Amino acid sequence: MQIFEYNGSAVVAMVGKNCFAIASDRRLGVQLQTIATDFQRISKIHDHLFIGLSGLATDVQTLYQRLVFRHKLYQLREERDMKPETFASLVSAILYEKRFGPYLCQPVIAGLGDDNKPFICTMDSIGAKELAKDFVVSGTASESLYGACEAMFKPDMEAEELFETISQALLSSVDRDCLSGWGGHVYVVTPDEIKEKILKGRMD
């Protein structure tokens, strides 16, 4: 029994033109049994910064709570929001603290940095950062996601096209993975607004 495949998950983030999209599946399972179909894997840190966490669901929730805690203190002390790159360094440090008893999560971080330049990155469960200019994926469906994103991605997509692309990539990938799926949850973030959509996919 693989611990990273206990709950099942799929998270993907893509870069567009002055915008980004981050999407996840909604299934929460206990191995083969589906427990919930509305599990939140993506969370907002601030208006221009989101984190999606795949992997063991309990660690997803705990890690998210710890990160929100750290960010709130930072906001109070420094009177500003954290930049995405800074947040990614923080997450990496927090994960490495538990090097020999890690959080069983793989984060996907997506945000708009200075001058509204989109930033995405992912890391492994002990904090090895992987920056990308186009897309990052994580979860049990990651192999299918890599293929789908590689095929469907184009640089400099506007928000609407980005939404379509990431949704199609997510839904087609989770259909090839029995542990993730049951719909999708997509956030498309531009400098002015956050668009949140629930996708209806194959409910199996």
Q: Which residues bind another protein (CB under 8 A)?
A: 77-78, 83, 85-86, 89-90, 93
Least distance from another protein to the Cβ atom of residue 79, Å = 9
* CB nearer to another protein: pick between 17 and 83: 83
* CB nearer to another protein: pick between 114 and 192: 114
* CB nearer to another protein: pick between 40 and 86: 86
Least distance from another protein to the Cβ atom of residue 97, Å = 10
Question: Which of 1, 56, 58, 62 minimizes the C-alpha distance to 32?
Answer: 1
* CB nearer to another protein: pick between 132 and 178: 132
Interstrand relation of 49-55 and 194-199 (parallel, antiparallel or unpaired): unpaired
Q: Which amino acid is at 121?
A: C
Least distance from another protein to the Cβ atom of residue 115, Å = 13
- Residue 120 CA to residue 135 CA, distance in Å, equals 7
Q: Encoding tokens for residue 196?
A: 């949140």
Least distance from another protein to the Cβ atom of residue 121, Å = 12
Give the number of residues written for the chain.
204
- Residue 125 CA to residue 47 CA, distance in Å, equals 25
* CB nearer to another protein: pick between 126 and 152: 126
* CB nearer to another protein: pick between 32 and 76: 76
- Residue 116 CA to residue 87 CA, distance in Å, equals 16
3-state secondary structure 57-84: HHHHHHHHHHHHHHHHHHHHHHCCCCCH
CB neighbourhood size of 39 (10 A): 20
